[in-house]
Structure 1
Amino acid sequence: MKLEVNGVDISFGTKEVLRDLTLRVEDGEFVSLIGPSGSGKTTLFGVIGGLKQPDAGEIRIEGRITTGERGHVAYMPQQAALLPWRSVSGNIEMALKIAGIDKGTAKAMTLEWLSRVGLAEYARAYPHVLSGGMQQRVSFLRALLSPRTLMLLDEPFGALDALTRLHMQKWLLSIWETHRKSVLLVTHSIEEALYLSDRIIVLSASPATAVDEIVVPFERPRREDLWTDPRFNELKARIYGHLQGDGKAVDDHV
């Protein structure tokens, strides 16, 4: 088992955010969390990453209790958060060196992977010359190349336009298929969750608890016309029913 979240509660003052939340991520599994806005998904990432201490419950990574400990996960935020004064390769190399990888290995890994994802010509460029999608590719590589085997992706494509977002989803899957790190993704898009995931955990409105767990039945690699499959629309309606029941808006488009 890569990740176990066991009975986690957390409140901020009098506001209860997570209540008895339990979930798991297996080795090499891609799991998505979807829930209404403000349901505590990003707070949960803070707890898993050791940035926030829960009021109750525990986090286990690879079977060991890591509650309140940092440095056990690779994290990709909503925005690329690249350092503007460092080159594309410099941003990735710095993250690898912080993770304990020696300078020469970090440089070699960076150049190899930038070439693999079609960004070799931008290695010496600075982030401001990259499009939003390119910046997110660099941010994803930074997390992917980390020695940590659990990746937390916090709405990584939410700020992109619909077409770029679709391209990035396909790109992410193509890279993930060859690497197979364990992934926990937060998204507001039902279609994105169905396209990317092995399982989907649906959260209630705050205080968040798991109200449904869906095993996604589609084979990998995912088909281009997946959304024409009747099962896709049945599952989409099932998830939307939970979210609509909370009375909160959700983005159900790719």
Structure 2
Amino acid sequence: MTIPALELKGIRKAFDSGKKTVLDGISLTVGENEFVSLIGPSGSGKTTLFQLIGGLEKPTAGEVWIGGKETTGSRGHISYMPQQASLMPWRSVSANIELAVQVAGIEKKQSVKMAREWLERIGLQEYTDAYPHVLSGGMQQRVSFLRALLSPQPLMLLDEPFGALDALTRQQMQQWLMAMWEENRRSVLFVTHSIEEALLLSDRILVLSAAPATIVEEIKVPFARPRPAQLWKEPQFNELKERIQELLHQGEAVVK
């Protein structure tokens, strides 16, 4: 039996002395080398769920299991890519990556070698010694993803990493992320507000209701990999898009 990279068991989270419930019995799994997306209305608790998985918060009830071990309330078990790149402006592009790798336990000489090799692989070698302010938003997110990718933890949490990008850059980054993930498969839990993005990238999509959030439905994405950029032209793509839109509306209606 394969051990899931992540398993959440009946996660409930309430704030304000229990008066405000944000998550109400979330159970899910992410398999080894599986790409799973969470999609739900704004304020449905997706970021709170990431904080619980990462050990920054403790659930009111339920358990977090990573790699077959209970890690509820414990940190250091995941790699994380936030909504904003959050690069340190006083460190070079390479040094930003090197620091993340060194914190993960890689010695300095090896971390420098890894950073420079990977910057070349993602086409940013000319910015190795530059500072983050000269990079475009898409370039900064590539560096941010690279920091998460080079972290040794097998589970990656990606928290709507392309939400702040313009439409064209976001589309380019989706294609780039898909290619990078195909080449270096990791277990990924991905938060997005974009149905199209979830369908393009994911193996499964979990649709959340509005808070207090529950999982409305799990959708297995049927498209073979590698996926073409023009996947949105497929009739089944648009059928699934409409189905997810319907589920999101239902989830909001159930709460109201």
| TM tier, smaller | over 0.9
- Partner residue in 1 for 2:8: 5
- Report the identity percentage: 65
1:233 pairs with 222, 229, 238, which one?
A: 238
Aligned residue type for 1:210: I
Residues 19-42 of structure 1, C-alpha deviations (whole Å, 9 max, x = no match): 010000000000000000000000
- Partner residue in 2 for 1:97: 102
- Partner residue in 1 for 2:59: 54
1:42 pairs with 34, 42, 47, which one?
A: 47
The 5 A counterparts of 1:164-203 are 164-203=169-208
Residues 185-217 of structure 1, C-alpha deviations (whole Å, 9 max, x = no match): 000000000000000000000001101000000
* C-alpha distance in 2 between matches for 1:130 and 1:52: 33
1:244 Cα deviation from its structure 2 partner: 2.0
- Partner residue in 1 for 2:213: 208
Secondary structure at the counterpart of residue 18 of structure 1: strand
Is it true that 1:110 corresponds to 2:85 in the alignment? no
1:155 Cα deviation from its structure 2 partner: 0.3
Aligned residue type for 1:241: E
Report the count of equivalent residues.
248
1:15 Cα deviation from its structure 2 partner: 0.8
* C-alpha distance in 2 between matches for 1:210 and 1:244: 13
1:224 Cα deviation from its structure 2 partner: 2.1
> Relative to 1, partners in 2 of residues 1:247 and 1:21: Cα closer, same or farther, differing over 3 Å?
closer
The 5 A counterparts of 1:147-162 are 147-162=152-167
* C-alpha distance in 2 between matches for 1:228 and 1:176: 23
1:246 Cα deviation from its structure 2 partner: 4.1
Residues 74-132 of structure 1, C-alpha deviations (whole Å, 9 max, x = no match): 00000000000000000000011111111111111101100000000001000000000
Output the aligned Cα RMSD: 0.9
- Partner residue in 1 for 2:142: 137
* C-alpha distance in 1 between matches for 2:123 and 2:202: 25
What is the TM-score normalised by the length of structure 2?
Answer: 0.96
* C-alpha distance in 2 between matches for 1:27 and 1:18: 25
* C-alpha distance in 1 between matches for 2:122 and 2:246: 38
2:74 pairs with 69, 73, 82, which one?
A: 69
Aligned residue type for 2:6: L
Unaligned runs of 5+ in 2: none
1:247 Cα deviation from its structure 2 partner: 4.6
What is the TM-score normalised by the length of structure 1?
Answer: 0.96
* C-alpha distance in 1 between matches for 2:116 and 2:182: 20
Secondary structure at the counterpart of residue 110 of structure 1: helix
* C-alpha distance in 1 between matches for 2:230 and 2:89: 38
Residues 35-60 of structure 1, C-alpha deviations (whole Å, 9 max, x = no match): 00000000000000000000110000
1:158 Cα deviation from its structure 2 partner: 0.1
1:153 Cα deviation from its structure 2 partner: 0.2
Secondary structure at the counterpart of residue 42 of structure 1: helix
